[in-house]
Structure 1
Amino acid sequence: MRALMELRKKILSGDYPGGTRLFEVSLAETLQISRTPVREVMSRLAEEGLLDRLANGGFVVRSFTYADAVDAIELRGVLEGTAARLAAERGVSQAGLDQLREIQARLDDCFGEAADEVDLEAYSEANARFHVVLVELSGSTVIQREVERATRLPFASPSAFLSGRAHVAAFRQSLHIAQEQHRTLVQAIAGREGARAEFIAREHARIARKNLEYAVFEDPELMLTVPGLVLLNP
C-alpha cells in the first residue's frame, strides 16, 4: 500500500519525530486518501512498533531509548540463534544447504581485493536473504513469525547499518568478521552442531550492536542516515 510505505518512510526519516501526535484529517490530506485507510495505516504501523495507541484511540509516533535498540538487537540474536540450533539439530536437506551456500557465495563475491572494497548494495541484499533462509531452515513457523516481529524495527534488522551514508570504514571492516561468521554458521549447521550454530548466530547479531554503539557514541551524524535511529533518545 502506497500510503503505508509513504507514512513509514516519513516516520523513519524524522519528518514526524518521536512523541508527535498524528491526526487523521491532516494525514488524509498529506497522503491524499480518506480517513478510513489512514486509520488502517496507523494501526499497521502500531503493530510494527513505530506508533503507540493512545487511550482515546489516537496514535503517537513512538520514541525509543538506546536500551530499547540494544534489546531489539539482542532479541533478534536470541531468536536467530534458536533457529540456527534447530536447523542443525533437526537436520537440513541438501537443497536447503545448497541454498544457504549459494547465498554465502554471493556474499563472498561482494568483496574486492582491497580490504575496504565491498559492494554494499549487493551485500545488503544477499545478507538479508541469508538471514531469512537461515530462519526458514529451522522448520519452525513460530520462530519465523517471532523473528519477523523482532526485525520490524528497522534498526534491529540484519542490514540496518548497510544503507545510505552509513557506509563508513568502521562498518566496512565489520563485514569481514560477519562474513566469516556466515561461513562457520553454515559449517555448523551442515555438521549438525547445534550449540555451536546457536553461539555463532548470537555473536553475529552482536556486530549490529557494536555498529549501533559506534553510531550513537562515536559518530552521532550517522543517526540521521540509518533508518529509524532518528527515533532514538540516547
Structure 2
Amino acid sequence: MELSNRVALVTGGGSGLGEATVKRIVNNGGKAVILDLQEERSLALVEKVGTENAVFVKTNVTNDEEVQNAINIALNHFQKIDLLINCAGIATPNRVVSRKGAQNLSEFTKVIEVNLIGTFNVIRLAAEAMFSNEPNENGERGVIINTASVAAFDGQIGQAAYSASKGGIVAMTLPIAREFANQGIRVNTIAPGLMKTPLVGTLPDEAIALLESQVPFPSRLGKPEEYAQLVTSLIENPYINGETIRLDGAIRMQPK
C-alpha cells in the first residue's frame, strides 16, 4: 500500500517512535491522526507538519469512548482510516518480590492494561472502520502495525509486567492477521531494541554509552527514524503479514 493520500492513526504519536512515524507519513504524502495524552508536544507536532496534514485528539487508549471519539474525528476530518500504528505504551520496572515485599498487583495490571489491552482496544475499533474501505488493486483495505519490544523475548529482571504485555502483542499478531485476511487488512508487529527515545535521552552519558556497548552492530541506540522507516516498509510491502520483526542491531538482552 502506498503512503500517499493514506490516513493513519498513530497512538503515542506525540513523541518518540510515534512522532517519527507521524513525520515520515506526512513527508510521504499521507495524513496523520495523533492519539496521545501529551497535549503540548502533540499540538506542537501538528503545527510542525501542518494542520492540513495532521490532527491531534487527546486519547487514553484504554478508554472505549475516547478511542471511538478519535476514530470519529478522523473519519469526519479525513473521511477514512487506512493505517493504524500503535506506539502508545508505558514501562514501570519492578521486581516481583523486592525487599519491600511482593509487587503491588495494580502496578502489573496497569502495564498490561495500557500496553496490551490498549493496543487491542484501538485495533478492534480502527479495524471496524477499515472494513468499509474500498480495496486497492492488491485487495488491501488497511494495514495495522503494533509495537512490541525485544523484552517480549529477552525479558530482564524487573520486566515481568512489561515483557508479559509485549509478549501478548506478539502472540495476538498472527491470529488477528488471519482473522482480518478476508477483509484485506494486514497486521504486523515491530519489536524494537534499545531506542533513543526521550526517556532514554534523560540518562547520563555514561549510562547511554553502557547501553550502546551492548548492541553488536551498529553499536549505538536505535533511532526513532529507523523505526519509522520500518513502518513505511511494512506498509508498502504487500506480502508481509502476521509477522513480528525485531529492530535491535542484533542485541540479546542479558538477565539484568
Asked if these proteins are the same fold (TM beyond 0.5), I'd say: no
Q: With structure 1 as the length reference, what TM-score do the two structures score? A: 0.29
More helix by share: 1
Q: With structure 2 as the length reference, what TM-score do the two structures score? A: 0.27
Larger RCO, structure (CA 8 Å, separation 6 or more): 1
> Whose radius of gyration is greater, 1 or 2?
1
More strand by share: 2
